[in-house]
Chain A
């Protein structure tokens, strides 16, 4: 039997097409040859540092960079190449850039290490930074509790929808969201004593962070409360529940799970902002590091403090991301 005359080749109509040169540059042989050329250029054609005039030096480095980027870009943009190859190319690219920088920047590596990474100088003084970290974490935990309480209270009061009350609370929220933390702390610490209120550096920090981040927290809570459907309030009120019972038993249990991820994010940001407390002499991590910097006349303690902040904060930032993912997925 003769098959019936089929339709024209439909698969052909939808097939990807490329110009001939495009096919050529994606061939393995072409890539290998050009790679060899680029490597040879880098090894033999680049002038020694200081051996040539700056014009020649810079233009040959620029040309080399251009070739390297074009070659790796060609590989990275090809979606038919395996991911493992792309990873290798990316790492090689970073290595080449580092090598270029190391060779031509003229950096004084020895002095850089002596000044900023002179960790032997910290010997016997690590406990100072550890104490500072302890104070930082304590400030952060107390202020986190404070700001959540402030934020929850403000958001709940705003949920009562009293116009006058709302006006005052809005002013509070806007002022503290607009003012930089450093300004809030400095005003609380240096100005308040003139009106007879001396809070001391620890309490100043806690109050400033609680008020400042409380304003952010209240906005998060408010968004969560407003996300609860108005039918929930109507159903609760129609059963005879009071406004406060409705908020406590119906609205907040639904709002709080929604609010946890943004709130955790706020709290992590607040942990960073505890560093501002070093300006009002709270003995936290940065303050202790700066004291060491002065006494040792060496900035390594500051680098150490920076590393400690990273070690503490990166896991927390990861946790925030996980929380966001989980609550987004499990939204019911």
Chain B
């Protein structure tokens, strides 16, 4: 987009540790994500997947290590983390839509109050995004009137409204009824096709095989194995990975 080539590092993580009191959740995670790369994160529950993702935009404060977003160390003391977060959209397992606001107001909120664009422009952009996720007709509905799949699609539109460089998905389909998973994955597939840099915690094998460039297998706070979906699913080298995959298949 802005002249950088497609292989430069969008995110680089160096030796990331996270302690919750006694509990050592992340034990030195290092990896990097290229621009437009789609990286799936898999692993057993309690293995540190969500914590890893939440450390990358400092919703959880990392205990030590370095995180570079577009080459800038966001752990540095002079960094305004709110500005960093405007570049990283995040989608949660439990949607977390703001229940006192309509779908459109959810989408408009951050552009108006953080980006400081006019309410009218935000509304126009918001409608365009809701149309993109197939919910134009639900713009004025409150979240409680929407199904889980619809709520999650509004949540994606809300994150996209900030025009982020990167999108994080923390188990975006785990709280959905089976028939709604497809509509959310379709939206995510389109984003991947359009070149969004994405980190996705998910166990949706079909989606990962199709859309992900790389899979990180995270267990016990460490990256046990990484590779393309075909390598991980078909030709895993680690017993830990094989064991996990045999259980979810």
Known: A239-B158, A254-B99. A231 touches B94 (CB 8 A): yes
B144: chain A residues within 8 A (beta carbon): 332
Interface string of A240-280 (1 = CB under 8 A from B): 11100100011001100000000000000000000000000
| B85 at interface, CB cutoff 8 A | yes
Collect the chain A residues with CB atoms within 8 Å of residue B82's CB: 237, 240-242
Q: Is the CB of A239 within 8 A of B98?
A: no
A15 to B59, CA, bound (A): 63
Q: Is the CB of A250 within 8 A of B57?
A: no
> Contacts of A238 on B, CB cut-off 8 Å?
57, 59, 85, 88-90, 159
Smallest CB-CB separation from B142: which chain A residue?
A: A332
**Which residue on chain B has the smallest CB distance to residue A332?**
B144
Is A321 engaged at the interface, CB distance under 8 Å to the other chain? no
In the complex, are the beta carbons of B59 and A237 less than 8 A apart? yes
If the complex has contacts A240-B85, A241-B82, A249-B109, are A235 and B92 also in contact, measured as CB distance less than 8 A?
yes
CB distance from B122 to the nearest CB of A (A): 13
- Judged by a CB distance under 8 angstroms, whether A328 is at the interface is no
Q: Mask for A169-195, Cβ within 8 A of B = 1, else 0?
A: 000000000000000000000000000
Give chain A nearest CB distance to B100 CB in angstroms.
5
Q: Does B96 contact A (CB under 8 A)?
A: yes
Instruction: Assess whether A234 is interfacial by the CB under 8 Å rule.
Output: yes
Residues of A within 8 A of B247 (CB): none
Chain A residue with the shortest CB-CB distance to B110:
A239
Is the pair B113, A249 in contact by a Cβ cutoff of 8 Å?
yes
A297 proximal to B (CB < 8 A): no
> Do A239 and B162 have beta carbons less than 8 Å apart?
yes
Interface size class of A (residues with CB under 8 A): 10 to 19
Min distance, Cβ A4 to any Cβ of chain B, angstroms: 46
For B152, list chain A residues within 8 Å (CB). Answer: none
Q: What A residues does B59 contact at CB under 8 A?
A: 234, 237-238
Shortest CB-to-CB span from B187 to chain A, Å, is 18
B114:A235 contact, CB within 8 angstroms: no
A74 at the A/B interface (Cβ < 8 Å)?
no
Asked if B110 and A241 make an inter-chain contact with CB atoms under 8 angstroms apart, the answer reads: yes
Flag whether B83 is at the interface (Cβ < 8 A).
Answer: yes
A240 touches B96 (CB 8 A): no
**Cα–Cα, bound, A240→B94 (Å):** 19
CA gap between A238 and B56 in the complex, in Å: 11
Q: Is A59 an interface residue (CB 8 A)?
A: no
How many Å lie between the Cα of A112 and that of B82 in the bound state? 73
Is B150 on the interface with A (CB-CB < 8 A)? no
- By a CB distance below 8 angstroms, the chain B residues around A198 are none
Q: Which B residues lie within 8 Å of A235 (CB)?
A: 90, 92, 96-98, 155
CA distance A332 to B101 in the complex (A): 13
B86 within 8 Å of A (CB atoms): yes
Check A250–B98 contact: CB distance below 8 A: yes
Contact assessment for A240 and B100 in the assembled complex, using a CB-CB cutoff below 8 Å: no
- Tell me, yes or no, whether A232 is within 8 Å of chain B by CB: yes
CA distance A236 to B98 in the complex (A): 9
B109 contacts A239, C-beta separation under 8 Å: yes
CB pair A231 B92 closer than 8 Å: yes
5 intermolecular pairs with C-beta atoms under 8 Å apart:
A234-B90, A237-B82, A239-B162, A240-B162, A254-B98
Further pairs besides A239-B110, A239-B162: 13, Cβ < 8 Å: A231-B92, A231-B96, A232-B96, A235-B98, A237-B85, A238-B88, A238-B90, A238-B159, A250-B98, A254-B98, A254-B100, A332-B99, A332-B144
Nearest 7 A/B pairs, CB to CB: A235-B96, A240-B86, A238-B90, A239-B110, A231-B96, A240-B85, A240-B114
